[in-house]
Structure 1
Amino acid sequence: MTGVEILTAGAGDKAWSFLIAGEERQFQGNAGYEDVVEESYSYDSTVGNHLRVSVGDLVVVRSGREALGVGYVEALEVLPDQEKLRSRCPGCGSTGFKERTTERPRYRCSPCARTFEEPIVETLQVTSYRAHYGGTWQPLEGCLDKAQLNALSLSKSDQQSIKAMDRERTLEAVASRGVRLPRQRGASTEDRRHPLELPGGRRRTTAAARRGQDAFRKALVRQYGFICAVTGAAPAEVLEAAHLRPFARTERHRVEEGLMLRSDIHRLFDSGLLTIAPGLVVRIAPSLAGHPLYNALDGSRLHIAQDAPVDHEAIAEHHAVTVATW
C-alpha cells in the first residue's frame, strides 16, 4: 500500500479514550504527536490498539486528569512508511526515562535508575494514523474526571494512550452530564463537515475578565454538567456560570452560589426578569407574558438534584429583591 488511504466506513461498535499527553507526558521516549484536540487524534503502529479503532467508534479525548471532549470517528487517515524518532536509555534501552528540570544529568531512567545527558535516538518505520471526529465533537470540559473515566474503562493501565471503554456506559455517563451527541451518519469524503486539511488562521476565544471565572465555570460544570438549571441540557457554547449573588458586590466565587444557565436565561436572571422561588421553582416576570417561549417556563422546577449544593438563602434573597420590582 502506498500513499494516503482514507477510511470512511467501518463497524463503529466500540468506544475508546484517546490520551492527549501534551505537557503532562511523563516519559521522553518519543516526541509526541500532532493533535488538534477538537478535530483529530494522531497515533502510529507502535501504539496499542492502533488496528482496532474504526470509523464510527465513540471516542473520549482525555488529558491526564479529565475528559476534554467526545465524538464519533468520521474518517481515518492511514499513512504508511513514515519515519518516527524514538529515544532510549543508553544503559538498559528503555523508553521509560524522565527529564529532570533541576538536576544534572538531564535524564533519569525509571527502570534502571541510570542518569544521562543524552539518550540513544533510533529511527523507526511506522504506519501513522489520524482519526478525525471534528464534525461530531462535543466539549466535556472536565465534567468527567480521571476516576470517572477509569470506572468506564475496560483497561486498568494509566499509561495506555488508546484505552477501550464500555460504549453503552460511556454514552450514558455523557448523556447524564447534559451532553447531546449528534446522530451518527455514514460519512463520505464529499459530505464530511470538517475537511482533512485543518483550518489555519486565527481562532476566536473569549477571555474571562473576572479573576477566577474560568475556575468557577469549571467547578459548576463538574457539579451540574452541561445542563441549564432552568431549561435543561444545552450546548456548552451557550452555557454560562451564573452567580446567585451579584459578583460586583461579593467579588467571590462559591459553587453553592452558582448555577449553570443558558446565556439568554442568565441575562433575564441578572436583569430581574426571571427568578427562582423557594422550593426551586422558576418565576417569570409578568412583563414577559407576551413571549411564550419564556412564559412557558413559569412554575417549572429547576433541573438540579434535590440535594444539590445550592445556597437556598441566596436564592431567597434574589427572589425577594426581584419580585419586589414587578
Structure 2
Amino acid sequence: MSGIDKAAKAAHGRAWSFLIAGEERQFQGNAGYEDVVEESYSYDSTVGNYRRVAVGDLVVVRDSREALGVGYIETLDVVPHQQKLRSRCPKCGSTGFKERVTELPRYRCSPCGTTFDSPKVETILVTTYRAHYGRTWQPLEGCLNRTQLADLSLSRSDQQSIKALDREGTLHAVTDRGVRLPPQERASPAARRQLLDLPGGRRRTTAAARRGQDAFRRALVAQYGLICAVTGSAPAEVLEAAHLRPFATTERHRVEEGLLLRADVHRLFDSSLLTISPELVVRVAPTLLGYGTYSALDASPLCVPRDHALDLNVIKEHYAMTTATW
C-alpha cells in the first residue's frame, strides 16, 4: 500500500471544493463573502452542505476555470444570529438573478425571465462560518482544471458553492500532479497561526519580465503539474518556466520547448552547467561533480510522463550545444 493510500485510509473526514467569491460565485441574492483565498473561506447557513463541513476535511479552493489550492480545515469559526440582506425577484421571489452590465433594466431573473431595476430586499437571520486551512495550504495554480475537478465531484450540480469530492481520489490527483501536503496534524486547532488582522484578500504573484512568461509557466504547470523535470515534486514558489531554446533568440513560448525547473536547477540549465540527453537523462557538467547535491542528479531520468510534449529535436540541439562547452 502506497503512502498516499495509507494516508487516505487513516484520515477521517470528507473532501470539498470551495468556489471563491467573485463573478463565478452565485450569491443567491446576497452581497457576497470576503475570502482570503490562501487562509480561509466564508459561507453561511443558506449555502448547501454548510452543516457537513468539519475540521479535518480536505478542501480544494477553485474558481470557474481551475483549482487554486488545497489544504485541510484546521478550525471553523461559527457565529449565529447574524443579519443578512437578501434580494429577490419582485415577480417570482427567486434569488437566482444576475446583474447585467450592458443592458437595462439592471437585473434579469433566470427562472422567470423578468427584468427589473430594483429587487425586493429582505433581512434574514443566518449563522456564518469561516473555515481556516492556511497552515496546510498548497497552491495548485491550475494543475487541476475544471474537467478534472468535475471527475472528482460527488455532485453533478454546477450551482453549488460547496461541492463534495471523492477524498481519496482527490488526494491521489493532487499527489500525481506533484503536490505534497504537510501532515494533517498541522491542521490541529492548537497549531493554528492566529492572524491579528485579516486582509480583504491576497494572492501569490510571479515576477514576469518577459511578455507571456506567466502564461508559458501556467501552460507547463497544466501539462506536467508542480513537478521539476530534474528533481521531482517541488513547491510552486520555486518552480520556473525554462526554455530549451533561448527566448532572446526565438521570442516565442512553446510548451514543446519548455520545462518546469526548480529555481537553482534553472540557473544551472541557463548557465550551460546542466542539460538533458536525447535519451531524456540528466547530465551535469564535470565542474559540478564536487557538489554532492548536483552530482547526485547526473544520469537520473527526466521526471516527465511517457506522453510528454517535449520536442526531442530541440532536446538534442540543447544537449549538443551545452556539452560542447564542457
TM-score normalised by the shorter chain: which range applies? over 0.9
Residues 1:210 and 1:119: Cα distance change in structure 2 (over 3 Å): same
Residues 1:228 and 1:242: Cα distance change in structure 2 (over 3 Å): same
Query: What secondary structure is seen at the aligned counterpart in 1 of 2:266?
Result: helix
Gaps of 5+ in 1: 1-10
Kept in 2, the 8 Å contact 1:226–1:239? The answer is yes
- Partner Cα separation in structure 1 for residue 204 and residue 219 of structure 2: 23
TM-score, with structure 2 as normaliser: 0.93
Residues 1:176 and 1:212: Cα distance change in structure 2 (over 3 Å): same
Please state how far the C-alpha of 1:167 moved relative to its aligned partner. Answer: 0.3
Kept in 1, the 8 Å contact 2:226–2:234? The answer is yes
User: In structure 2, what is the equivalent of residue 192 of structure 1?
Assistant: 192
- Partner Cα separation in structure 1 for residue 28 and residue 73 of structure 2: 28
- Partner Cα separation in structure 2 for residue 221 and residue 47 of structure 1: 32
* TM-superposition CA deviations, 1:296-324 (whole Å, max 9, x none): 11111100012201011111111111111
Q: Which amino acid aligns with 1:86?
A: R
Q: Which amino acid aligns with 2:319?
A: H
Query: What secondary structure is seen at the aligned counterpart in 1 of 2:124?
Result: strand
* TM-superposition CA deviations, 1:219-263 (whole Å, max 9, x none): 100100000000100111111111111111111111101111000
* TM-superposition CA deviations, 1:158-200 (whole Å, max 9, x none): 0101111100000000000000000011655543135375368
- Partner Cα separation in structure 2 for residue 248 and residue 176 of structure 1: 33
* TM-superposition CA deviations, 1:11-53 (whole Å, max 9, x none): 9411000011312245661211010000000000011111111
Residues 1:202 and 1:126: Cα distance change in structure 2 (over 3 Å): closer
Residues 1-326 of structure 1 correspond to what in structure 2 (within 5 A)? 12-25=12-25, 29-185=29-185, 189-195=189-195, 197-198=197-198, 205-326=205-326
- Partner Cα separation in structure 2 for residue 265 and residue 303 of structure 1: 13
Query: What secondary structure is seen at the aligned counterpart in 2 of 1:17?
Result: strand
TM-score, with structure 1 as normaliser: 0.93
Q: How many residues align?
A: 316
Residues 1:155 and 1:82: Cα distance change in structure 2 (over 3 Å): same
Residues 1:155 and 1:201: Cα distance change in structure 2 (over 3 Å): closer
- Partner Cα separation in structure 1 for residue 203 and residue 306 of structure 2: 40
- Partner Cα separation in structure 1 for residue 210 and residue 77 of structure 2: 42
RMSD of aligned residue pairs (Cα, Å): 1.9
Residues 1:30 and 1:38: Cα distance change in structure 2 (over 3 Å): same
Seq. identity, %:
75
Kept in 1, the 8 Å contact 2:19–2:62? The answer is yes
Query: What secondary structure is seen at the aligned counterpart in 1 of 2:325?
Result: coil
